[in-house]
Structure 1
Amino acid sequence: MDIYLKYILIGLTIALPIGAITVEMIKQGLKNGFIHGWAVGLGGMTIDLTLIVVLYFGGASVLSLPYIQIPLWLIGAGFLAYLGYDSIRNADKDITPADSKTQKSFFATYRNGLLVAISPGNLVFWVSVFGAVLASSYDTRQQGGFVIAACGILSGILAHDIVLLSIVSVTRKVMSRQAIKIVSIIAGLLLIGFALYFVYQFVLALMPYLRS
């Protein structure tokens, strides 16, 4: 139980900094309500869970290879740039009043969470953190330690998402359509900013190979 609680706190700490997934969650939560904001978070956690399974079965060595990680910077940049552009272009569309039922597909926002979560930053985190946890579990011969740690971190991230989106849902009720539109545009610009950062990291990672 102590291990589980410890990793819940780690999960909360990881989720607190504002990143691309948080931006997309807030935007969808304001435009379409709690469920659609949460769908983005579930999409992100699906990628997290997939990486945990891959690491558990020994995939860390493959995922840490430069020629696997470097292309992901560019792929992630492409996904984020697309979502940012779409957020700005459709800033005044798909806004559902708080007292109305949204027509937007749950799967569409879940897919956005998947796209945002496919990034090298996410990959590096799981390889580094869970690589260490997995090694520790093997050393102590406690095969369940890795699973408990994984469940704890995912529970912490889930708790953060629920609290954040509960606040967003309350805020949504007092925001005008114009205010939500402005937030959507700002979210789009932030996602494009993350995309440009990914391109920058891609170039930095590629430079040593271009010089050789």
Structure 2
Amino acid sequence: MSLYFAYVMVGLAIAMPVGAITVEMTKQGLKNGFMHGWAVGLGGMTIDLTLIFLLSMGLASILALPVIQIPMWLIGAAFLLYLGYDSIKNANQGITLSGEKATKSFFSSYKNGLLVAVSPGNLVFWVNVFGVVLAKNYSNDSSQFTIVALGIITGILLHDLGLLTIVSISRKAMSRKMINWLTIAAGILLFGFAGYFIYEFVMSLTKYL
């Protein structure tokens, strides 16, 4: 159990830094409530679980190839540019204040979570950082690998629940105008992450050409 709790803390540490998935969760949580922010988190966790399984099957060596990794930066930038543009363009639309019924579908928020989570930042992180940790534990003992993977996912889950609880409580005191401006800010942050991905794409291209 000590191994499990150790990796729960690791999962929390992974999720703590503000990333594109955190921005999208917060945005949807503010605009449409806890369940929609949670849908984004579920989309991200779907990709995380899939990656853990695929990494255990040897995907890490494939994703580490420059011919695979380099285009992923550009694809990820395109996803984030789209989400950022949509966030700013529709900042004043689809806002439901506390007590109102959301007009946006749960699946739509889940899909946004999937799009953000398949970005290279997430994929490269799992491959370069936890690919090594998970592979090491898998080679030693497959049951130990399962405990490590479950611990990481639990930590991410606890972070998501904590974040969305804070967002839901804060949302009750916010006006429509405040949520509108915060949504625009979220879109600008997503543009920033897209810019970083484009920078990584150019640097990677320069390195291998």
How high is the TM-score relative to the length of structure 1?
A: 0.95
2:121 maps to 1:121: yes
Tell me what 2:7 maps to: 7
CA distance in 2 between counterparts of 1:14 and 1:165 reads 17
Tell me what 1:134 maps to: 135
Contact 2:73 2:198 in 1 (8 A): yes
Any idea what the Cα deviations from partners look like across 1:156-200, whole Å, max 9, x if unmatched?
A: 000000011001001000000000000000000000111011001
Structure 1: gaps of 5 or more residues: none
Percent identical among aligned pairs is 61
CA distance in 2 between counterparts of 1:39 and 1:201 reads 29
Question: What one-letter code is carried by the residue in structure 1 that aligns with 2:33?
Answer: G
CA distance in 2 between counterparts of 1:137 and 1:90 reads 45
2:204 maps to 1:205: yes
Contact 2:23 2:190 in 1 (8 A): yes
Contact 1:11 1:157 in 2 (8 A): yes
Contact 1:55 1:131 in 2 (8 A): no
Q: Tell me the SS of whatever aligns to 1:98.
A: coil
Q: How many residues are aligned here?
A: 208
Q: Tell me the SS of whatever aligns to 1:197.
A: helix
Q: Tell me the SS of whatever aligns to 1:114.
A: helix
Moved over 4 A (4+): none
Deviation at 1:137, TM superposition (A): 3.5
Contact 1:27 1:37 in 2 (8 A): yes
Structure 2: gaps of 5 or more residues: none
Moved more, 118-127 or 152-161: 118-127
CA distance in 1 between counterparts of 2:179 and 2:115 reads 23
Tell me what 2:148 maps to: 149
Question: What one-letter code is carried by the residue in structure 2 that aligns with 1:98?
Answer: S
Deviation at 1:27, TM superposition (A): 0.6
